[in-house]
Amino acid sequence: MKSFNPKCHHPTVQLLGKCKTLYAFKQVHAQLITTGLNIYTYPLSRILLSASPLSLTYVLTIFNQIKNPTVFLFNILISSIITHHKSHTHIAYGLYNRILTHKNLTPNSFTYPSLFKACGSHPWFRYGLALHTHVLKFLEPNCDHYVQASLLNFYANLGKFDVARYLFNQISKPDLATWNSILTAYARNASNSASGLTNGDSCLSLEVLYLFTEMQNSLVRPNEITLVAVLSACSDLGALSQGIWAHAYVIKNNLNLNCHVGTSLIDMYSKCGCLSIAYQTFDNLPQRDTSCYSAMIGGFAIHGYGQRALDLYQKMRLEGLLPDNVTFVVSMFACSHVGLVEEGSKIFDSIQEDYGIEPKLEHYGCLVDLLARAGRLQEAEERIKKMPMKPNAIIWRSLLGAARVHGNLAIGEVALKHLIELEPETSGNYVLLSNMYAKINRWEDVKRVRKLMKDNGINKMPGISLVEINGSMHEFLIGDKAHPSTKEIYSKLEEINQRLLEHGHKPRTKEVLFDIEEEEKEDALSYHSERLAIAFALIASEASIPIRIIKNLRVCSDCHDSSKLVSVIYQREIIVRDRNRFHHFKDGTCSCLDYW
Ligand code: ZN
Ligand code: ZN
């Protein structure tokens, strides 16, 4: 192999990239061999790059015939195998080992980014840890930003944010790409849920907003990728003011309002409770792809507009756009939350019949949820038994949730048994079942579940509500007394409770956890986190603005009832986003029509 390349831009070399089939490629390759150019580095790199997507065997045969390949060529082959042949990642690692054992070769900063990217997926993560030691051994301490960015992405994908953050802090002057890496990693992991409809991890989202402020202080200008991460954090936190600011930034700085940014904006507005602005944004986008449609359908879905979601799904198909996994999920979710069982089942059937796609686990999850919520629990259980893959915790949890609502203990117990096997550490599962026992006064069973939780060392996840007042976020836990305005909040709460009683509100004490005495139960109810948030918002915000609350757990029926009443008594619109969906409380009713 020779490095000097006299005619590297020879027309035949340029032809390589245009070959769409292996047959065409072989013809051009043969021509190159006759010119003798095939032994120079640049033409060789083009040969490897162009052959790799077409045939792994062929590209390896070519590579193995190169005499003394350079690290540059190794790097090209490694990265293109990882890009085009994910299931053959082990071959890429084999090539990397050949560099290590070669006496004249040392890996360089271009060797690592693709290897770290491949390590992100489960079976290889240990390999990534080993690779990190190699980076320390072979590269300069403050090496290339791409290596740093790929390393921190690797740790962030593993959920090791402390390490990712440590690595980030080591970088003296992070550039835009590095900032985007850390912001995207945090944002993606915060909103990591199959459907993209449920709440994420608010700590990670807060971190995104915090890091973003730091980034602006360091005078690095954000681009579209940065704003997508920021908007995703805003959606998660319900941080409307920040989200509006990000939208204004896009417009003022002439950033490209592409489909990614558009999708994030629609998602942010609808998850912050502003469905009509979400729709305006959707309507005004210069171009719309499947993701934009899915975000809007999802927006209608969580706000309980099942029919509008379905109409949009129909419109999208008429425009010739193909639905993807997310579209199917959000459309079925829309049906599930308003009881459109037939429509939802039709979408499920169409996945295979019309689009020839094998339904995935999340689609079965939607189907089970659809049937179970509508009270067709037996049918839901049957569908789970017939699934071609092993049902996950989400599926059992929706069955358990529906069994609780419909008071079907037998199915609830079956679901819990599976759930505890899959997720022995999740408190919500036990709480759902114990609430179910409590509802029918089976206190012995409640105690048994309580003991099971204790034996397994599980604590109940605390309810947290976030409320945005004049652009800043306030957080409340159940019975919280940490807020600076605690005194005012509790006296407002007393006033609210008094007025609720006057309006004939009877606390539903069965919603409260088991071992508390009756009187205390009433107390605990009045201190549920969203009540504190509502009380604070009534004191601290303008009367004309709706109160927007984001809660990490489901709203209990008592808080649901009392929020309806508060909306009449205080003439305030209250918008609560709970774990699953939105509740718009206005003039004494809720948009969910008590179906949640
Ligand atoms: Zn409550
Ligand atoms: Zn509701």
User: Tens of pLDDT along 127-144?
Assistant: 888 889 998 888 877 667
Q: Return the pLDDT at 502.
A: 93
- Backbone dihedral region of 553: left (phi > 0), alpha (psi from -120 to 50 degrees) or beta? beta
Give the mean pLDDT of the chain.
Answer: 86
pLDDT at residue 516 tops 60:
no
Decide if 249 contacts 227 (C-beta within 8 A). yes
Q: How far is the CA of 29 from the centre of ligand 2 (A)?
A: 66
pLDDT at residue 1 tops 60:
no
Q: How far is the CA of 478 from the centre of ligand 1 (A)?
A: 9
Q: Return the pLDDT at 149.
A: 84
Kindly identify the ligand whose nearest atom is closest to the C-alpha of 586: 2
Q: How far is the CA of 560 from the centre of ligand 2 (A)?
A: 6
Write down the pTM of the prediction. Answer: 0.76
Q: How far is the CA of 553 from the centre of ligand 2 (A)?
A: 13
Q: Return the pLDDT at 122.
A: 58
Q: How far is the CA of 378 from the centre of ligand 1 (A)?
A: 29
Kindly identify the ligand whose nearest atom is closest to the C-alpha of 465: 1
Decide if 176 contacts 226 (C-beta within 8 A). yes
Tens of pLDDT along 162-205?
888 888 888 888 889 889 989 998 888 776 643 344 445 667 88
As a whole-number percent, the residues of the chain with pLDDT over 70 amount to: 92
User: SS3 letters for 501-550?
Assistant: HHCCCCCCHHHCCCCCCHHHHHHHHHCCHHHHHHHHHHHHCCCCCCEEEE
Q: How far is the CA of 514 from the centre of ligand 1 (A)?
A: 14
pLDDT at residue 220 tops 80:
yes
Q: How far is the CA of 557 from the centre of ligand 1 (A)?
A: 7
Q: What CATH architecture is 360-459? A: Alpha Horseshoe (1.25)
pLDDT at residue 336 tops 80:
yes
Decide if 436 contacts 448 (C-beta within 8 A). no
Span 369-394, average pLDDT: 92
Q: How far is the CA of 436 from the centre of ligand 2 (A)?
A: 20
Span 88-95, average pLDDT: 90
Residues, CB-to-ion distance under 5 Å, ligand 2: 583, 590, 592
Q: How far is the CA of 300 from the centre of ligand 1 (A)?
A: 25
40 phi and psi angles, rounded to 5 deg: -95, 155
Q: Return the pLDDT at 169.
A: 87
Torsional sign, CA 372, 528, 303, 419 = negative
Torsional sign, CA 429, 430, 433, 436 = negative
SS3 551: strand
Q: How far is the CA of 381 from the centre of ligand 1 (A)?
A: 29
Kindly identify the ligand whose nearest atom is closest to the C-alpha of 513: 1
Q: Return the pLDDT at 428.
A: 75
Rounded Cα gap, residues 17 and 51, in angstroms: 9
First to last CA, the chain: 68
How many Cβ atoms from other residues are within 10 Å of residue 237's Cβ? Answer: 26
Domain boundaries, the chain: 360-459, 464-590
Q: How far is the CA of 239 from the centre of ligand 2 (A)?
A: 21
Confidence label for 520 from pLDDT (cuts 50, 70 and 90):
very low
Lookup: tokens for 501: 């009683």
Span 101-127, average pLDDT: 83
Q: How far is the CA of 476 from the centre of ligand 1 (A)?
A: 13
pLDDT at residue 305 tops 50:
yes
Q: How far is the CA of 271 from the centre of ligand 2 (A)?
A: 15
Q: How far is the CA of 547 from the centre of ligand 1 (A)?
A: 17
Q: How far is the CA of 342 from the centre of ligand 1 (A)?
A: 32
Q: Return the pLDDT at 274.
A: 92
Span 80-104, average pLDDT: 90
Kindly identify the ligand whose nearest atom is closest to the C-alpha of 555: 1
pLDDT at residue 43 tops 50:
yes
Span 560-571, average pLDDT: 94
Question: Strand pairing partners for 585?
Answer: 574, 590
356 phi and psi angles, rounded to 5 deg: 65, 25
Tens of pLDDT along 233-260?
999 888 898 999 999 999 999 899 999 9
Rounded Cα gap, residues 489 and 479, in angstroms: 11
Tens of pLDDT along 547-564?
999 888 888 888 899 999
Q: Return the pLDDT at 511.
A: 53
Highest mean pLDDT: which of 84-93, 242-251, 394-403, 511-520?
242-251
Q: Return the pLDDT at 268.
A: 95
Q: How far is the CA of 568 from the centre of ligand 2 (A)?
A: 15
pLDDT at residue 7 tops 70:
no
Q: How far is the CA of 583 from the centre of ligand 2 (A)?
A: 4
Q: Which residue would you say has higher pLDDT here, 538 or 154?
A: 538
Kindly identify the ligand whose nearest atom is closest to the C-alpha of 556: 1
Q: How far is the CA of 15 from the centre of ligand 2 (A)?
A: 62
Span 293-303, average pLDDT: 95
- Backbone dihedral region of 482: left (phi > 0), alpha (psi from -120 to 50 degrees) or beta? alpha
Q: Which residue would you say has higher pLDDT here, 513 or 583?
A: 583
Kindly identify the ligand whose nearest atom is closest to the C-alpha of 534: 1
As a whole-number percent, the residues of the chain with pLDDT over 90 amount to: 46
Q: Return the pLDDT at 387.
A: 92
Q: Return the pLDDT at 514.
A: 41
In this structure, which amino acid lies at residue 507? P
